[in-house]
Every structure is written in C-alpha cells, then in structure tokens.
Amino acid sequence: MAEGHRVVVVGAGFGGLQCARELRDEPVQVTLVDRHNYHLFTPLLYQVASCLLNPSEVAAPLRKVFRSARNVRIRVGEVQSIDLAERRVHLADGTHLEYDDVVIAAGSTANYFGNDDLARDVLGLKDLGQAIELRNHVLACLESAALSEDDEDRRCHLTFCIVGGGPTGVEYAGALAELVRLVLPDEYPEIDPAAVRIVVLEGADRVLPAFPPGLSNYGQRELERRGVEVHTNQLVAKASKTHVETRAGMHIDTRTIVWTAGVRPTDLVATVAPQVAENRFDVDDHLRVNGAAHAYAIGDAAAGRDHHGKVLPMLSPPAMQEGRFVARHILASRRGRDTRAFRYHDKGTLATIGRTAAVGVVGPLQFTGFLGWLVWLAVHLYYLIGFENRVRVLMRWAWYYVRYDRPVRALIDARSPQP
Amino acid sequence: MAEGHRVVVVGAGFGGLQCARELRDEPVQVTLVDRHNYHLFTPLLYQVASCLLNPSEVAAPLRKVFRSARNVRIRVGEVQSIDLAERRVHLADGTHLEYDDVVIAAGSTANYFGNDDLARDVLGLKDLGQAIELRNHVLACLESAALSEDDEDRRCHLTFCIVGGGPTGVEYAGALAELVRLVLPDEYPEIDPAAVRIVVLEGADRVLPAFPPGLSNYGQRELERRGVEVHTNQLVAKASKTHVETRAGMHIDTRTIVWTAGVRPTDLVATVAPQVAENRFDVDDHLRVNGAAHAYAIGDAAAGRDHHGKVLPMLSPPAMQEGRFVARHILASRRGRDTRAFRYHDKGTLATIGRTAAVGVVGPLQFTGFLGWLVWLAVHLYYLIGFENRVRVLMRWAWYYVRYDRPVRALIDARSPQP
C-alpha cells in the first residue's frame, strides 16, 4: 500500500475515472469519492430509458474497475464542500478527507436556466435513477393510454415531449420512436400507433446545434422519417405535469416532458470558489484552480481551454483528456519535473438518431447514415468500461437489433436503500 | 378478436400465466390482470438479490408473452375485491371487469405468523422490488462497513441474518456467501473477510424441511462449507433494524434481516369468501370455488388437493398444473363436454445451495452435488419464460461462473413512477 502523497479525486465520471486510472499503481495514495458506487457510461443512458439496455450494462462498479489497484480507495459519499485553505474535502456524513492534491471532477447537473420550478414537473435523463424513472414512466403512460376511455386523456398520455435537440434529446427521441414502432402494434392492440406523438422542442434554429448545419438537417430529416415532430426556435416558457408552453406560443398537452435542454456545473463549484466563470472553475493552462494551491479542476466543473483560448465544451472527451493530464502532472511534480501545458486534441463528435443512422464529425470528415452509425458503435463500444460489458452489450445489441425487440420492459418500483 | 365468453384471470404468476397461455387463440375473451406488467420467475429472484442477474432476466413483460394472442388482453392494475354474485372483479382504480368465468390466481405474500410489525424491520425476497432493495441494502452495508471506525458497528453491518431455511433462504444464503467470497478480498481491502457472518435461522429441526432428511443434512453441510452458520430450532421472537432475537435465546446484532420464513395467501382471498381453509380457497376436485358459480381458484390462493386428499404445497408446479387444468375445463364446459377431476403429477422438487451444489427429489430418486445442480439448471432454464431469456441467462451464467464474477452491483436508487 503506497502511503504518503494523498490525492483525493472528487467524482467518478469520465474525468475523475481517467485520472484515478492513470494514478493506479503509482506512488501516491488515491481516494476516489463519488455519491454512487459505479461509474456511469452516460452516452448510453438513453438506451436504458428506452428499454434496450439494463442498468448494469452502463454502470461499472468502481470497486471492480479498481479491484487490482492497491493504491486506490473507493469512498461512496456526497461531497458537501472543499476547504482549499485547510486542504480538506468535507462529506455530507460529517467526515472529511485530508489531501495533498485534490482533483475536482464533480461534473454537471441539469440546467433549468433559472426556472428551477421546472425540476418538479419534468423528467431528467442525467443519471441512472432518472433513466429508470423515465423508462417506468413511459411504460406506465402506455398502460394508462391502453385503458383510457377518454380521447383527450389518451392523447395526453401518448404525447411525449422532449425539450432540447442536442445529442441526448435527439438520441432519446429516436430511440423512443423505435420503441413505440416495435412494441405498439403487436403488444398494445388497444392503442392506435398513429395517436402517438413524439415532439422535440429545440431553442436554437436547428437540432444538434453543435454540429455543422448539414448534419443538423440530416438529423432532423431522420427524426421526421421516424415520425418525430421537430420544432426549432422553441424555448419553453412554462411546464406542468400535464402541459408545456413555449415562448413562441406552442401549447402541448402531455404527461411526459423530458428535459435535456442543457447542463450546468454542480453547485459544489459555487460553494468552493468565488472566482468562477459561468460556475466553472477558472483554471490555468495546467488545469490548476486559479488562486488555490494543490487543487485541480477538470471536466464539466472546470473552464478548461483549447490552445486558441476557447473554453472546452461540457463533453466526455475533454474531461477524459484533462483527467489523464492532471494525473501525469501530479506524478511529474512529485518527481520534480515540469510538464507542458494541457493541450486538447479534438477527436470529433458523434450522435445517433437510431438504428443504422448517426452523424459524426472527425476533423475535416463528416459522417452520416450507416457509416456514421458503425463509427458511433465502434467508438462507444471501445470506451465502455470493462471488457465483459463491451462483449455483452455488443451481443445484446446484435441480438435485439436482429430481432427488432426491446427486452427491458418490466416496470419495477424498487424502494430506496436504508443502510 | 373472439368475443363472447369472458374469462378474467386474476394474477400473472405461474398459475395465472399457464391458464392464460392455454386459453390463447381459443374462442374465449381473456383478460389477464396483474399489478405488474410482467411475469416474475420467482425461483431465480435470489440471483437478482445476490448481484448475478438483472431484473429483466427474471421478468417477462406480459404484453410480450402474449404479443401474438389476439384474444388475451393485459390489464395492469390492483384487484381490490371480487364480487362472486355479480360476477365482477373490482380494481383499486375504481373500475371493474365483468366476467363469465373468473380464475383466481392471486398468489401469496410473506407470512409473519401474526407478528406483522416485523414487516417494518425486515427485508423481503418475494417480489422484484424487494430483491433490488435487498441487493442495494447489502451493497450499502458493505460500503458502511468499509468506512466504519467502530468494531461493533462494522460487525453489525457485516452480519447478514436470513430467517427461514426453506429453499429461498438456503439459496439466498448460499448465493450471498459466494458473492462475499468473490467480491470482498479483491474489492474491499478495508474489510476482513473473516468478519462477515451469514446466519440462517430455521424454526424446524433441519433446513429444507420439505426434503428428505438426507438432503437436509447435505444442504446444511454445503452451506457450512461456504461459511454460513446454520441454526435450527430457532423461531424469531423479536426483530428490529439492528438486532434479532429468537425464542430459544439467541441474540444477533445485525443490520440485515431477510425474511423467507414462509408465505400465506394474499388478503384478497379473505375479502372474497368466508368459506376458506387457512386463507386458501376451498375448491372442489375441478378447482371450482365451493359455494360460488363460475369461479375457479388455483395456486397458492387455493387449497387444491392431490388424489390422496392432501392439500398441495404453495409451490409453482401445482399452480402451473392447476392453471392448465382450469383452462381446459373452461374450454370443455363451453363445448358441453365433461372433464375428469384434477390430478396432480408430482415431478419433484429442487433447491440449489450454490455453484455446482444442489439437492433434488424426483420420484424415488434423490440428487445431490454437481448432478443435482445440472438437473436444477436444466429445469430452471426450461421453465424460464421466453426463448431469448433462456439463451441469454445461460450465456450469462456460463460467463460469470467461469470468471467468478458478479456483475450487477450498481447501487441504484430509482424513484417511483407517477404517470
């Protein structure tokens, strides 16, 4: 067991996990803190919500990931605050962890753009609990619609409104359309498939606004081909359990509002440091938190920049590269060596609209259609943590894609654990 | 769509499901009512609780099971009462179903033997929600123990007490012992594996009391070989969130009391008929509820008898045979034909203690060890509903048994659905 230099990594998302992996078997003592006992592969979360994957297929238990690493301790707990002067990470259970270096990789949470009342009435798609809740909710809506004697009420239960046309919104809308198309005709004879409405509301003038316009057009066309209504330039003004209204005057009766309109860093950032830009830690070119010693910030929690000085997007590739960089920088510093400044390598962005249709940008290349989907599949399988997960998820996809089935449809109400 | 004769099947457990399957594509209109949208393969529930299987691998969506059956409607809902005079099944949502024949297959619930306060403080292993709750609870106890600075407290978190030494208790105890043995040494360096106690408390003088004494001895030996403490002649007197006491004076500090001590028919039975034996419907030799016309009762809810007049045990094989019998009897009656009385064919009983160890009785034959385990595996795979489940579960077992792993270990707190 390596004693001595204590590194606390706050958060086991893409950034924190990569950082801790890079530090394994090195002469430092790592404590990886997360509120969950697993690393979540968020890019496939929408597949849990749309009945294709089991929760365990996108959640890698942290103790398993680090099972052979003797210098990495897993600490399940909620971080409440970080005292940069005293070098302590305070947890919600009243205990604290002392550190020599801290890596803040606390991630992000749903952004309601100031309208936090919305949180009560919408469904999220940001963590595993929410994905299961959304899956259960959609299945319960189909059951209610199958029973309903009232046309109005049935329509309301069969209208699914997705707020946000970024990758998460587009991917979930596409997957939901496929679920409905595969499952309804054979299994819900009570429901007319034509009565189902899946609506995407995007605030910008096109879906997938982070992609080139050509790919946005392709994405919208593919969604529409699957029966999804896409409305751009629609910002949500009001929402309740039974309807949503946009500023431009659209009014939709629906029992299901899925909020994928954006993310913001967790509130932890604000409690730690006043000197932040848009709630992200202001960091130098070595990802050190400005104004604090021995503190690094990475991923969605930090405003890391590329070599043009542009703040990096809140996505997994920057977080992973930053995590590895910080780990190497900590190790080099311990050895008294210098490291060059962090430099982000943009490997591209991908989003899938559904079975055999995806969009991708890799450097000067743009992919669409089946080719894009193959690239998307390969990249996601490669980055899935844990070898058996990769093999199993691939087998599962192959099987259910061939059979046009969605297996994970039990509506399970599990009570919360009380240890 | 076959109109006309309306058959309502209450409950989609083993009995109800077999009954509805036997009626598919026959000239009757079937409504299968269950509070869940899935059929639960309860014999493998302990594997969900012990992190080996995913919930969806033991839960077959009912609409999928009946996807091609045009005369079977699925109705998700809670049955509140059955009016045998008016021939109506009343649901908790205020609606009702009218029937020409009703098949009551409402199953059973945990039996606290009059001490219903226990329900608050113990964990169950009777439905899918409970199995997930138990899995989460055990994982949370391991995390708490890993953190605890207090010996007493750590021991309490590492003591797992299983009340009941029937098949469910024995199977769960064996699976938990394997989970602990596989996972603790590599993944919880903070915990001394020797500090873990798994205790089975059985009220009778031997575990697996429904099996021949030789098999009980084998079962106890195999459990003990896996580090499980077995205490017989121990009836629980008191239990709380932190300890359990037996009438014979044992006192165990534990955070985990798993109640598998027995089942009793659901309260629905008592609300329907006063003329019941031990809360099970009194039925004639054609499984018709005595004193009521057009009402059948099967499975745990009914006191069906074998040809010696002995009441059948509350297990799946009688329920399945009764379900098929009633379906055929209803169809024959519609055609004006007679049916011979119900006759139970005892095909044997099986229980597994863990990897490669099981006990079984089939007629005059008794199995133990690896052979018993192979028989157990074959029978359970055969009866798993849905072909892809069978293949997938088999692949999964093969994979994880070879790798000595338990994959489903994410501690997930999903909120309940509110459609």
CB-CB contact of A98 with A14 (8 Å): no
Q: Is B410 within 8 Å of A139 when comparing Cβ atoms? A: no
**Is the domain of A176 the same as that of A290?**
no
Contacts of B55 in chain A (CB under 8 A): 54, 410, 412
* Average confidence (pLDDT) over B201-215: 95
What single-letter amino acid sits at A119? A
Prediction pTM value: 0.90
Which residue in the list A171, A202, A222, A322 is annotated as catalytic? A171
Helix/strand/coil percent split, chain A, to 5:
35, 25, 40
CA distance A151 to chain B (A): 17
Counted domains in chain A: 2
Look at residue A240 and tell me if it is in a domain: yes
Look at residue A416 and tell me if it is in a domain: no
**Is the domain of B49 the same as that of B184?**
no
CB-CB contact of B227 with B179 (8 Å): no
CA distance A24 to A43: 25
What single-letter amino acid sits at B290? N
Residues in chain A: 419
Q: What pLDDT, on the 0 to 100 scale, is given for residue B385? A: 65
Lowest mean pLDDT among A350-364, B70-84, B244-258: A350-364
Which residues contact residue A335 at a Cβ distance below 8 angstroms, ignoring those fewer than 6 apart?
Answer: none
Q: Is A189 within 8 Å of B76 when comparing Cβ atoms? A: no
Which is nearest to A333 in space by CA: A20, A21, A23? A23
**Is the domain of A330 the same as that of A399?**
no
CB-CB contact of A242 with A141 (8 Å): no
Q: Please report, for the domain that includes residue A14, its CATH number.
A: 3.50.50.60
Q: What residues does B44 pair with on adjacent strands?
A: none
Greatest mean pLDDT among A198-207, A287-296, B44-53, B365-374 lies in A198-207
Q: Please report, for the domain that includes residue A399, its CATH number.
A: 3.50.50.100
Q: Is the pLDDT of residue B31 over 70?
A: yes
CA distance A373 to A371: 5
Q: Is the pLDDT of residue B415 over 50?
A: no
Which residues contact residue B212 at a Cβ distance below 8 angstroms, ignoring those fewer than 6 apart?
Answer: B361, B366
Q: Is B143 within 8 Å of A56 when comparing Cβ atoms? A: no
**Is the domain of A149 the same as that of A250?**
yes
Nearest by CB to residue A61, choosing from B57, B410, B414, is B410
**Is the domain of B11 the same as that of B97?**
yes
Q: What residues does A30 pair with on adjacent strands?
A: A7, A72
Which is nearest to A384 in space by CA: A20, A37, A42, A16? A42
Q: Both ends of chain A: CA-CA distance in Å?
A: 29
Alpha helix ranges (H) inside B57-158: 62-65, 118-121, 128-147, 151-157
What single-letter amino acid sits at B369? G
Look at residue B61 and tell me if it is in a domain: yes
Q: What pLDDT, on the 0 to 100 scale, is given for residue A236? A: 94
Sign of CA dihedral B49, B50, B56, B57: negative
* Average confidence (pLDDT) over B339-351: 90
A204-220: burial string, b at 16+ Cβ within 10 Å, e else = bebbbeebeeebbbbbb
Out of B240, B261, B282, a domain closes at B261
Q: What pLDDT, on the 0 to 100 scale, is given for residue A1? A: 41
How many CB atoms sit inside 10 A of residue B92's CB?
11
pLDDT along chain A (419 residues), means of 10: 82 96 96 95 91 86 90 95 94 96 95 85 93 94 94 96 96 94 88 95 96 94 96 94 95 97 86 69 92 93 92 93 97 93 90 84 86 81 67 68 64 48
Q: Is B199 or B308 the better-scoring residue by pLDDT?
A: B199
**Is the domain of B201 the same as that of B269?**
no
CB-CB contact of B170 with B260 (8 Å): no
Q: What pLDDT, on the 0 to 100 scale, is given for residue B418? A: 35
Q: Is the pLDDT of residue B166 over 70?
A: yes
- Degrees, nearest 5: CA angle B46-A386-A344: 145
Closest residue on chain A to B120 (Cα) = A418
B148-186: burial string, b at 16+ Cβ within 10 Å, e else = beeeebbbbbbbbbbbbbbbbbbbbbbbbbbbbebbbee
CB pairs under 8 A between A and B: 164
Residue whose token pair is 């077999």: B18
Q: Is B419 within 8 Å of A37 when comparing Cβ atoms? A: no
* Average confidence (pLDDT) over B296-303: 94
* Average confidence (pLDDT) over B6-32: 97
How many CB atoms sit inside 10 A of residue A124's CB?
17
Look at residue B170 and tell me if it is in a domain: yes
Look at residue B377 and tell me if it is in a domain: no
Integer Rg of chain B from CA: 22
Question: Is A171 an annotated catalytic residue?
Answer: yes
Which is nearest to B7 in space by CA: B328, B281, B283? B328
Which residue in the list B171, B178, B222, B322 is annotated as catalytic? B171
> Tens of pLDDT along B104-154?
999 999 998 888 888 889 999 999 999 999 999 999 999 999 999 999 999
Q: What residues does A183 pair with on adjacent strands?
A: none
**Is the domain of A163 the same as that of A244?**
yes
**Is the domain of A149 the same as that of A273?**
no
**Is the domain of A83 the same as that of A229?**
no
- Degrees, nearest 5: CA angle B172-B178-B181: 140
Out of B211, B236, B261, a domain closes at B261
Which is nearest to A181 in space by CA: A312, A17, A51? A51
Q: What pLDDT, on the 0 to 100 scale, is given for residue A415? A: 45
Look at residue A394 and tell me if it is in a domain: yes
Segment (H or E) for B215: helix B213-225
Q: Is B56 on the interface with A (CB under 8 A)?
A: yes
Which is nearest to B43 in space by CA: B408, B320, B301? B320
Query: Residues 18..37 of B with a Cβ closer than 8 Å to A: which?
Result: 36-37
Task: State which residues form the domain around A297.
Answer: 6-35+77-111+264-334
Residue A414 is classified by DSSP as P
Q: Is B187 within 8 Å of A64 when comparing Cβ atoms? A: yes
**Is the domain of A10 the same as that of A103?**
yes
**Is the domain of B134 the same as that of B171?**
yes
SS (H, E, C) B133-200: HHHHHHHHHHHHHHHCCCHHHHHHHCEEEEECCCHHHHHHHHHHHHHHHHHHHHHCCCCCHHHCEEEE
Q: What pLDDT, on the 0 to 100 scale, is given for residue B354? A: 80
Look at residue B241 and tell me if it is in a domain: yes
Q: What pLDDT, on the 0 to 100 scale, is given for residue A380? A: 79
Look at residue A340 and tell me if it is in a domain: no
Integer Rg of chain A from CA: 22
Q: What pLDDT, on the 0 to 100 scale, is given for residue A292? A: 87
Nearest by CB to residue B140, choosing from A64, A412, A417, is A417
Q: What pLDDT, on the 0 to 100 scale, is given for residue A341? A: 95
Q: Is B16 exposed, middle or buried (0-12, 13-18, 19+ CB in 10 A)?
A: buried
How many CB atoms sit inside 10 A of residue A58's CB?
25
Nearest by CB to residue A129, choosing from B74, B77, B415, is B415
> Tens of pLDDT along B387-410?
556 666 776 666 666 556 666 676
Q: Is A392 on the interface with B (CB under 8 A)?
A: yes
**Is the domain of A146 the same as that of A277?**
no
Out of B305, B334, B363, a domain closes at B334
Nearest by CB to residue B59, choosing from A143, A392, A410, is A410
Give the CA dihedral B168, B170, B176, B182, nearest 10 degrees: -130
Which is nearest to B23 in space by CA: B119, B110, B99? B99
Pairing of strands B96-98, B256-259: unpaired
CB-CB contact of A348 with A355 (8 Å): no
ipTM: 0.86
Cα separation values, A130 from A49, A408, B140, B380, Å: 8, 15, 20, 33
Residue B50 tokens read as: 């012990």
Sign of CA dihedral A325, A330, A331, A334: positive
Q: What pLDDT, on the 0 to 100 scale, is given for residue A418? A: 35
Which is nearest to B40 in space by CA: B8, B24, B22, B16? B16
Residues in chain B: 419
Contacts of A387 in chain B (CB under 8 A): none
CA distance A304 to A240: 36
Q: Is B392 within 8 Å of A411 when comparing Cβ atoms? A: no
Q: What pLDDT, on the 0 to 100 scale, is given for residue A93? A: 93
Give residue B294's Cα distance to chain centre: 28
Query: Residues 135..164 of A with a Cβ closer than 8 Å to B: which?
Result: 136-137, 139-141, 143-144, 146-147, 157
Cα separation values, A267 from A9, A86, A90, A207, A398, Å: 17, 20, 14, 28, 40
